[in-house]
């Protein structure tokens, strides 16, 4: 096992910088998820750690070793891709063993490692099959097994579940989490799916336009986003935002945006608020609740999702609320919403959380 450290890691293509001075420390045995939209630089960062892309600047260390200039085979990492990349003419057993054979590992050691990996991933009955005889989930298990037999210092995953259906993705998330618990080796996992990030990571690193926006434990990032991008990207349905300004009522701060007025006593601003100060208010849909009194809102549309419903609302500004289906709300109703002040988030017009929350 080993830690991974990135110091000022940068990547440019033809003068365009796609990863900008990334500083990131991944501890031994940690599960770190790099998450962000397509084109944010997360896969490029992973490929630089693997040695598949050269860095344009900065240093990468695996344990105490500076591996920045080393070839991939010299880094003792194992990588699992979105494309399973199995040899179609080889059996599962042969696919698992191939990399070890190429490294000159002894036959007895190969058999032992293959048997251990097959048992951990529950693919013993598949060992004689060819890839064409496997389902997508089974092929992904074989790809995991091929990485596992390497016994690397670090596992790298590049959107490994993107080709699977929704049900199989959930199952394979559980498998990867279990594998991490059993193996205890550091894993770095790239995804654009914030649900995968929240459920798998010990910590998550949110990226945008090649820049790290925030690093932290999933619930810390969820509860205290550093800026409006993180707040909107993490969480589903995404956070509601409204631009407005600070006002004062009876000496207490209030957020105003047109007809919308919300008291801010106890809001998570982390800084003094001044009347007239322009701010962006954020509140997650699940933190808006149907109440007897409160903020009036007209229901424009109801999305029924089973146990819960998403309400599209007009409250002077557009809002979405995630409510229990038994609330009995129908399209066209006028309802009242409660918005607890301690669930409100305030951001400056630069997009940063006021008072440096989450940074």
Euclidean distance between CA atoms 345 and 104, whole angstroms = 57
**Rg for the chain, CA atoms, rounded:** 24
Choosing from 233, 267, 294, the residue where a domain stops is 233
In the predicted model, is pLDDT for residue 156 greater than 80? Answer: yes
- Give the pLDDT score at 359: 41
Question: Do 30 and 203 meet the contact criterion of CB atoms below 8 Å apart?
Answer: yes
Euclidean distance between CA atoms 338 and 291, whole angstroms = 6
In the predicted model, is pLDDT for residue 355 greater than 90? Answer: no
Residue 64: both structure tokens together = 């105490």
pLDDT tier at 268, thresholds 50, 70, 90: low
In the predicted model, is pLDDT for residue 265 greater than 80? Answer: no
Q: Which residue has the higher pLDDT, 168 or 1?
A: 168
Closest C-alpha to 66, from 49, 83, 78, 79: 49
Q: Which of 22-26, 213-217, 273-277 has the lowest mean pLDDT?
A: 273-277
Choosing from 233, 254, 283, the residue where a domain stops is 233
Domain limits for position 244: 240-356
- Give the pLDDT score at 196: 94
Return the C-alpha torsion angle 142, 147, 149, 154, nearest 10.
Answer: -150
pLDDT digits (tens, 9 = 90+) for 31-61: 999 999 999 999 999 999 999 999 999 999 9
Choosing from 179, 208, 233, the residue where a domain stops is 233
Q: Which residue has the higher pLDDT, 14 or 212?
A: 212
Tell whether 284 and 207 lie within a shared domain: no
Q: Which of 77-86, 185-194, 196-205 has the lowest mean pLDDT?
A: 77-86
Tell whether 310 and 175 lie within a shared domain: no
Tell whether 180 and 324 lie within a shared domain: no
- Give the pLDDT score at 64: 95
- Give the pLDDT score at 146: 92
**If you average pLDDT over residues 291-315, what whole number do you get?**
93
């Amino acid at each position: 096992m080993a830690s991974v450290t990135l110091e000022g890691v940068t990547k440019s293509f033809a003068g365009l910088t796609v990863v900008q001075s990334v500083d990131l420390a991944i501890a031994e045995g940690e599960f770190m998820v790099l998450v962000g939209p397509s084109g944010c630089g997360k896969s490029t960062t992973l490929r630089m750690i693997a040695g598949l892309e050269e860095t344009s600047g900065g240093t990468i260390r695996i344990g105490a070793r500076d591996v920045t200039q080393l070839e991939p085979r010299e880094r003792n990492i194992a990588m699992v891709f979105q494309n399973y990349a199995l040899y179609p003419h080889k059996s599962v057993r042969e696919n698992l063993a191939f990399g070890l054979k190429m490294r000159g590992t002894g036959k007895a050691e190969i058999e032992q490692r293959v048997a251990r990996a097959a048992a951990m991933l529950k693919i013993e009955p598949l060992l004689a099959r060819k890839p064409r005889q496997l389902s997508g989930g089974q092929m992904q298990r074989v790809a995991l097994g091929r990485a596992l037999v390497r016994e690397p210092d670090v596992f790298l995953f590049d959107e490994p579940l993107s080709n699977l259906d929704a049900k199989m993705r959930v199952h394979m998330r559980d498998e990867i989490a279990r594998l991490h618990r059993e193996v205890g080796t550091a894993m770095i996992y790239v995804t654009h799916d914030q649900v995968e990030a929240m459920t798998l990571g010990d910590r998550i690193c949110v990226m945008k336009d090649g820049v790290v926006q925030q690093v932290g434990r999933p619930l810390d990032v969820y509860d205290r986003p550093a800026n409006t991008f993180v707040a909107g990207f993490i969480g589903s349905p995404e956070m509601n935002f409204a631009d407005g300004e600070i006002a004062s009522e009876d000496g207490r701060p209030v957020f105003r945006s047109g007809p919308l007025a919300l008291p801010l006593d106890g809001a998570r601003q982390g800084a003094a608020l001044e009347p007239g100060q322009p701010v962006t208010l954020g509140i997650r849909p699940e933190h808006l609740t149907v109440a007897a009194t409160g903020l009036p809102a007209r229901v424009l549309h109801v999305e029924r999702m089973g146990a819960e419903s998403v309400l599209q609302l007009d409250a002077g500004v557009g809002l979405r609320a995630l409510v229990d289906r038994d609330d009995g709300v129908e399209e066209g109703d006028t309802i009242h919403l409660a918005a607890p002040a301690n669930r409100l988030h305030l951001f400056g017009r630069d997009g940063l959380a006021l008072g440096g929350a989450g940074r």
